[in-house]
Structures are given as C-alpha cells and as structure tokens.
Amino acid sequence: MKTIKSLFYILPFFLFSCQEEMENNASLELEFIHKAGLENFEYEKIYQNEAGNEFSLRLWRTYISEIRLIKENNEAFAIQDSYHLIEPQNGNKFSLNLSQIPNGNYKSIEFYIGIAGEENLSGESIGDLDPSNNMAWNWTTGYKFVRMDGEFQDLEGNRRGVVVHIGTEANLKHQKFDFKNIKNISGEANKLSFELNLLEAFQNPNTINFEELSDFQFNNEADLIGENYAEGFVNLIE
C-alpha cells in the first residue's frame, strides 16, 4: 500500500519533468538534395563531368558524422551518436530528423563528411554504422565515407565501370556552415536544407578523367576526390 502511495506522489513529478524537457527541447529536420550541376540527380541518368566523360550512377552514398550546432554565444551542442548515411531515396532527396536539441538561437552547423573518431575502426553498429549497409571495408581499414558505383562510356564507345570508394582519415573532411541570419530553433517544424553536388567530386581543384582511371580505392587519385569534396560538394541553402 505504501508503494502505491509513493508512486501516486512521484508520478506527477515525473510527468511534469518529462513535459518540461519536451518544452525546452526542439526537433530539427536536415534535408539533403542531390544534384548534378544544376540538374536534380537521378540514378542511371547520363551526366558529363569537367573532363568530358559521360557517366551514370546506380549507387551514391555519403556518410556524415559528429553533427554540432553552434549557438549565438558560441556554445556548441553535439548530437549524440550522429553517424548518418545519406543517399537519394525520395527522388533526389534524403531527410534526417534530429531531436532533443535545446531551444535557442543558433548561428551555424558543422559536421564531417566521413566517420570521425574511433567509431571508424570500432566495429560498433551505432546509428547507420551497420555493416549490412555495405559501406565498411573491415575493422582495420574502416568505412567508405563516399561511395559511388556506376559506369561511363570511353572514347572507343565501350561501357566501363566507375568505382568511387573513398575512406581513410586523410579523406575525413570537416564542414562548417554559417547561417545567413541567427536562427531560432525551438519546438517543432525546424528545417535546414543542403545540396550535394555530384559533379563537384570530380572537379575543383582536381579534374578527374575516367579515361585515365575509373577505379578510386586506396590510391592517390582517391585522395584527389577527397580534396574535391572537402569544399563545394555540400552546400547549405537554408
């Protein structure tokens, strides 16, 4: 009987605490729009890169990790276990929903392209780090940060494979995006939109020519693609 009475008194405080936490926290949707230059990206559609290669993709996946939101006062809020696999699903879009973000005024967001920290080699299935996603080489090599599988037509008219599997610490690239204006994130219905531009992976600063090489794994040319996606590959459009 005493236990029931104790629960009777404790329950209202517990419910009030949960309600207060919900009122003080916000949710945020991150939308990723996949593009090829100015066009909306489509699987199996033929695009032309800066070197003049005509190519198409049947798979495009990108890992992002360690998402942080920076408040107006420079206080940083880190999203826990934020390891996310981005790929075109609804047409050329992918949405990611974040929760339990403290209400407040924020000035920027940052994350990594790739898997940051020990998790790259840990073998733990946190977030989207499930090996069944076919994005892991092994636990000594880590994950593929960016994966693109497709084909191109060479100068002789032959269809040849395009394999872009980029990983390793050298190709972990930090991204930071400042908001145009201070953004109040509170409650629900908060959203940020980004564009991922396929063609930027093969240009600026390095022009990638599939006639010379079309398999990018554990070679210097793979690192050149890493340099390309460090800047301009992902853009905040708010």
28-48 pLDDT, tens digit per residue, is 999 999 999 999 999 999 999
What's residue 195's pLDDT? 98
The pair of three-digit structure tokens given for residue 166, joined into one six-digit string:
């980029």
The pLDDT value given to residue 205: 97
Q: Give the number of domains in the chain.
A: 1
Q: What average pLDDT does range 84-97 have in this prediction?
A: 94
Q: Is residue 214 part of a domain?
A: yes
Instruction: Return the amino acid letter for 65.
Output: S
Asked if residue 4 belongs to a domain, the reply is no
Q: What are phi and psi for residue 130, nearest 5 degrees?
A: -75, 125
Would residue 89 count as lying in a domain? Answer: yes
Per the domain annotation, does 34 fall within a domain?
A: yes
Cα–Cα distance, 168 to 126 (Å, whole number): 19
| Rounded Cα gap, residues 116 and 138, in angstroms | 16
In a domain, 11, yes or no: no
Predicted pLDDT at 23: 64
Q: Residue 89 sits in which domain range?
A: 25-236
Element (H, E) at 70: strand 54-71
Give a yes or no: residue 7 inside a domain: no
Instruction: Give the per-residue pLDDT at 139.
Output: 64
| 9 falls within a domain | no
Side-chain-side CA neighbours of 40 within 13 Å: the count stands at 9
At residue 107, what is the residue type?
K
Residue with tokens 């629900």: 188
pLDDT at 223 exceeding the cut of 70 = yes
Mean pLDDT of 17-35: 78
Residue 193, in any domain of the structure? yes
Kindly report the average pLDDT of the chain as a whole number: 90
Among candidate residues 103, 100, 105, 104, the one with its CA nearest the CA of residue 18: 100
Among residues of the chain, what percentage have pLDDT more than 90?
76
103-147 pLDDT per residue, tens: 999 999 999 999 998 888 776 677 789 888 899 987 677 999 999
| pTM score | 0.88
Name every residue whose Cβ is closer than 8 Å to that of residue 120 and which is 6 or more positions away in sequence: 114, 142, 143, 169, 172
pLDDT at 11 over 60: no
Say if residue 88 is preceded by a cis peptide, omega within 30 of 0: no
Decide if pLDDT at 27 tops 80: yes
